[in-house]
Amino acid sequence: MPDQRDRSQIRSSLLKKGFIEFTRGRDHDYYFLYVAGQKTSIYTKLSRGSDYKTYNITLLDLVKRQLKLNTNQLLSLIDCNLDYDNYLKILKTKGINFS
Amino acid sequence: MTDLDLNITTQIDRFSSEPLVNSSLSEVDDKSSTSQDTSFFYVSKEYLDFRARDFNTISILLSSVVIKTFQIAGVNFLLEFENGMYHLTHPVWSLSGSGHTLIEAEMNLRREASDIFDFYNESSLFSLSNDALKFRDYLMSITGRYARSER
């Protein structure tokens, strides 16, 4: 499994995993995690540039830090193996609670 | 090859496949700094740094380990060094910064804080989770910008 993913695939996965898209930024689209209808401090951003249609490991590394995941977990989230509930569980194990 | 070299090589063979990040994390926690102290140790994937406390105990530090806490505007961030880049990340918030130097990483983080501020400032307080409220307050303090009047 190559450590790169299409930006469109990342976007699609985020939207299925509790993230809401904000497209106001000039260079980036922002994705905020919502829990129980509330915006949390977990977010990431994806570049709009045509040079960034594919996210290589370097770019994925930035995303994984923002989402508090390791590389394998991030790839699972993008590949839809990691669902919203399990993502929240991972965050909880890291002491990140939203209640 | 000396006895020490041989011992180190043996230890690398034995431990290199084991995750040592957690032990490194707890080690760092014990000596967390609240000042902007930039002294630290690090390792990269290209170079394994191992410290021999004595000839019997060798600690191997793999890449992507937290090497220090680093305070910015009164809040501790975790400082990591990976693949030639410095990374500052908050343990809870997504706010982070990266750069080829520590200063560059901090500047990147502050720029990010400025970019993200409006996304929280324009939200109703009731629509923000508890952590997001704290985050919003921090964004105000680090950017020097003010909250809009609450609806």
pLDDT in tens, A16-37: 999 999 987 678 999 999 999 9
Q: Check CB contact of A23 with chain B, cutoff 8 Å.
A: no
Disruptive mutation site among B64, B92, B115, B140 for chain A (greatest number of A CBs within 10 Å):
B92
B115 CB neighbours in chain A (<8 A) are 25
pLDDT in tens, A31-63: 999 999 999 999 999 999 888 889 998 899 899
d(CA B120, CA A40): 9
- The CA R_g of chain A, rounded to the nearest whole Å, is 13
Spans of all domains in chain A: 5-93
Spans of all domains in chain B: 3-143
State the nearest Cα–Cα gap between B57 and chain A, in angstroms.
29
As given in the structure block, the two tokens for residue A95 are 């002491």
Axis crossing angle, helix A57-67 with helix A71-78, rounded to the nearest 10? 90
pLDDT at A49: 87
How large is the ipTM? 0.91
As given in the structure block, the two tokens for residue B44 are 């990269």
d(CA B44, CA B52): 18
**pLDDT band (50, 70, 90) for residue B68:** confident
